[in-house]
Amino acid sequence: METWVAGLILLVIKLGVVLVVMLLVAAYLVWVERKLIGRLQVRYGPNRAGRFGLFQPLADLIKLATKEDTVPGAADKTIFLLAPAVVGTTAMLLFAVIPFGSSFTLWGKPIPMVITDLNVALLFAIALSSLGVYGVALGGWASNSKYSLLGGIRGAAQMISYELSLGLSLVPVVMLARSFSLVEIINAQARYPFILVQPVSFLIFFVSAVAEIKRIPFDLPEAENELVAGYHTEYSGMRFGLFFLGEYITLIVLGGLVAAFFLGGWRGPFLPPLVWFSLKVIGMVFVMIWMRGTLPRLRYDQLMSLGWKVLIPVALLNIMVTGAVILMMAS
């Protein structure tokens, strides 16, 4: 009984800390992205609200919260109002399985630095990222606007296509770690991170994941210059803010997943685990922002042919080669 209560309290504390940190980091990630994109384009980025524009997220929050929350006349109201929550929730739930440090001992009890060590964490992550499609597709459909609908359709098609290569690129990781649990996968990388033995897998995972979170060069679902703002054209105020927040939380989560699957998670020499984890996530996020500042958007047919004709065959081949090598090493 006592341990049960202690476990519950611990869980609530961990959830609270992670949630607060995540929301703060996501808010400041917007600031970091705008600053970095600004510098990549030889301009300053936000620098008016507070020193270096540091109060910009706060100003944005006040603006979004005080704006009118409009619903289009012929929209499917229930779905329209719920869709942003799906995006935000799935993004935040994903973080539940990512370990952000090694376990430490408090009052003679080991406390793992992960919210829950699920034994099918990898499947959980993939399933949740698939669920995120619903937010986009339903939001686009319920808006009753052609731009939103086009954005939603594109979002659904793109995410279904890249889901495949995303899943396939993780099969070699599971083959090497012999587990679906993220904690076990990180433990398997104690000697070397998997990126050294699985660079192809890493590349496929990274590209598919960027497509999965709809960032440039795969931002066709929102393509400003064709579809106004794609699936969230009709959203305003805090509901738009939720879509926005979900996008940036997914960005962090993605950095965490890449770190866990390929970069050895919190493992690293000299520095404490939490610092290593943060550094890896920040590195991945920087690369994605850098990518946004560099690459143009893909055409729809290019997007599809890259997914189906390049990434999936290469991922399948990679699984075969990995399997063969593992068999050879075993015999």
Partner 1 sequence: MFKEGLMGLIAGFVTTFKHLFRKPVTEQYPEYKRTLPARSRARIILTRDPDGDERCVACYLCSAVCPVSCISMQSAQRQDGRRYPRWFRINFARCIYCGLCEEACPTLAIQLTSHFETCEHDVLKLVAEKEDLLVNHGGKSHEYNFYRHAGVTMVGDKGTHINEEKPIDLKSNLP
Residue 295 C-beta: closest distance to partner 1, Å: 7
Among 17-25, 35-43, 82-90, 97-105, the segment contacting partner 1 (CB under 8 A): 35-43
Residue from 9, 39, 50, 160 in contact with partner 1 (CB under 8 A): 39
Residue 287 C-beta: closest distance to partner 1, Å: 9
Spatial distance between the Cα atoms of 103 and 112, rounded to a whole number of angstroms: 4
40 near partner 1, judged by CB under 8 A: yes
Four-CA torsion 178, 91, 209, 136, nearest 10 degrees: 130
Residue from 290, 305, 317, 321 in contact with partner 1 (CB under 8 A): 290
Residue for token digits 């001992």? 105
Residues near 272 by Cβ (< 8 Å), separated by ≥ 6?
101
Backbone phi and psi for residue 59, each to the nearest 5 degrees, phi listed first: -60, -40
The answer to whether the beta carbons of residues 208 and 166 sit under 8 Å apart is yes
Work out whether the CA dihedral 201, 204, 207, 212 comes out positive or negative: negative
Residue from 17, 21, 41, 58 in contact with partner 1 (CB under 8 A): 41
146 near partner 1, judged by CB under 8 A: no
160 near partner 1, judged by CB under 8 A: no
Residue from 42, 106, 327, 329 in contact with partner 1 (CB under 8 A): 42
- Nearer residue to partner 1 within complex by CB, 37 or 325: 37
Residue 115 neighbours by CB distance under 10 Å? 19
Q: Let me know how many helices (H) and strands (E) the chain has, helices first.
A: 12, 2
Among 34-42, 52-60, 65-73, 93-101, the segment contacting partner 1 (CB under 8 A): 34-42
- Nearer residue to partner 1 within complex by CB, 48 or 146: 48
Q: Which amino acid is at 319?
A: I
267: left (phi over 0), alpha (psi -120 to 50) or beta: beta
293 near partner 1, judged by CB under 8 A: yes
43 near partner 1, judged by CB under 8 A: yes
Buried b (16+ CB within 10 A) or exposed e, 165-185: bbbbbbbbbbebbebbbbbbb
Residue 285 C-beta: closest distance to partner 1, Å: 15
Radius of gyration of the CA atoms of the chain, in A: 21
- Nearer residue to partner 1 within complex by CB, 237 or 293: 293
Residue 36 C-beta: closest distance to partner 1, Å: 8
36 near partner 1, judged by CB under 8 A: yes
Task: Count residues binding partner 1 (CB under 8 A).
Answer: 13
Residue 202 C-beta: closest distance to partner 1, Å: 16
Residue from 294, 317, 320, 321 in contact with partner 1 (CB under 8 A): 294
Question: Chain centroid to CA 80: how far?
Answer: 23
- How many degrees, rounded to 5, is the angle at CA 254 between CA 256 and CA 279? 40
Residues near 210 by Cβ (< 8 Å), separated by ≥ 6?
217, 218, 254, 288, 291
50 near partner 1, judged by CB under 8 A: no
- Nearer residue to partner 1 within complex by CB, 29 or 183: 29
Spatial distance between the Cα atoms of 24 and 271, rounded to a whole number of angstroms: 23
112 near partner 1, judged by CB under 8 A: no
Residue 42 C-beta: closest distance to partner 1, Å: 5
295 near partner 1, judged by CB under 8 A: yes
- Within residues 202-221, the interface with partner 1 by CB under 8 A covers none
70 near partner 1, judged by CB under 8 A: no
List contacts with partner 1 (CB under 8 A): 36, 38-44, 290-291, 293-295
